[in-house]
């Protein structure tokens, strides 16, 4: 563990740490915001998962999260979106390879050696956070686009691990949209039944925990009709009797301008669960 950035922010500290990941077999960075309350004792943790092409930097520099984390006394963890390095498999396209880990465990070569973001986010990273930072065992998770997909799937596959979950413009049914079909074919192979284990709409039907799903979606999002399809999640939740709150935001696109506009509402949502 090595701290490579530290910036004072809202009486707390925005940091970036680097470590050698045993799960991903490469060096990984992740952002950590320590609110001022962390100086007095352990705080609850909120995990953020970013979207395609992003690193930890997009969120920590553009989302405006630090002021809300400081207000509510929440530690925020923002990992990278994929394994990185010269020896890590990659692709020239933006939606496959480095920057496009899709928060799953790849089973197909050449991806299987490194692309295990699910295990990284659910096992290795929480263990590192618990060991090195002043945190309680209260956790929540949220994300954007590919990271929204990751947050929903990880919460649904790990009942009891998180107090709350939310997403901005998530890919809710990756088994049925171009982004997901391309990535899943590469990472998992051609067995579409195996894909369902990484699809929020499929997991809803068998969810043992009815954790409410909070979604914000911009109506001017250029990816809404082809890649995101939040109505599919609403339909799946209605069939399963799973609580789901999808809020369509007029005029908003897929950018961090949209995310920053509603970041405060998401922090309030998670703070209520983390401290309840």
- Provide the residue-wise pLDDT of the chain in tens; the chain has 276 residues: 999 999 999 999 999 999 999 999 999 999 999 999 999 999 999 999 999 999 999 999 999 999 999 999 999 999 999 999 999 999 999 999 999 999 999 999 999 999 999 999 999 999 999 999 999 999 999 999 999 999 999 999 999 999 999 999 999 999 999 999 999 999 999 999 999 999 999 999 999 999 999 999 999 999 999 999 999 999 999 999 999 999 999 999 999 999 999 999 999 999 999 998
Catalytic hit among 80, 90, 199, 221:
221
145 is catalytic: yes
> Quick check: is 254 catalytic?
yes
Select from 178, 135, 140, 159 the least CA-distant residue to 242: 159
Residue 103 near residue 51 (C-beta atoms within 8 A): no
Where along the chain do its domains lie? 2-275
Out of 72, 149, 242, 254, the active site residue is 254
Is residue 104 within 8 Å of 81, Cβ to Cβ?
no
Superfamily of domain 2-275: Alpha/Beta hydrolase fold, catalytic domain (3.40.50.1820)
Q: Would you say 150 and 102 are in contact if contact means Cβ atoms under 8 Å apart?
A: yes
The predicted model scores a pTM of: 0.97
Q: Which residue of the set 13, 145, 164, 166 is catalytic?
A: 145
């Amino acid at each position: 563990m090595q701290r490579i950035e530290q910036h004072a922010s809202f009486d707390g500290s925005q940091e970036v740490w680097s470590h050698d990941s045993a799960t991903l077999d490469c060096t990984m960075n992740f952002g950590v915001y320590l609110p001022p309350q962390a100086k007095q004792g352990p705080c609850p943790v909120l995990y953020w998962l970013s979207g395609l092409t992003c690193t930890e930097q997009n969120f920590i520099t553009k989302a405006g999260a630090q002021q809300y984390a400081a207000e509510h006394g929440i530690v925020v963890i923002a990992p990278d979106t994929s394994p990185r390095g010269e020896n890590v498999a990659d692709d020239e396209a933006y939606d496959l390879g480095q920057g496009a880990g899709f928060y799953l465990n790849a089973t197909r070569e050449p991806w299987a050696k490194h692309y295990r973001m699910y295990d990284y986010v659910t096992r290795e990273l929480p263990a590192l956070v618990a060991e090195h930072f002043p945190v309680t065992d209260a956790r929540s998770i949220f994300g954007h686009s590919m990271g929204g997909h990751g947050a929903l799937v990880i919460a649904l596959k790990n009942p009891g691990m998180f107090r709350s979950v939310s997403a901005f413009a998530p890919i809710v049914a990756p088994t049925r949209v171009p982004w997901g079909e391309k990535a899943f074919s590469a990472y998992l192979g051609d067995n579409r039944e195996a894909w369902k284990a990484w699809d929020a709409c499929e997991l809803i039907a068998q969810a043992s925990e009815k954790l409410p799903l909070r979604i914000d979606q911009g109506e001017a999002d250029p990816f809404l009709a082809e890649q995101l399809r939040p109505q599919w999640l609403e339909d799946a939740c209605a069939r399963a009797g799973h609580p789901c709150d999808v809020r369509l935001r007029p005029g908003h696109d897929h950018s961090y301008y949209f995310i920053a506009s509603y970041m405060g509402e998401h922090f309030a949502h998670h703070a209520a669960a983390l401290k309840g």
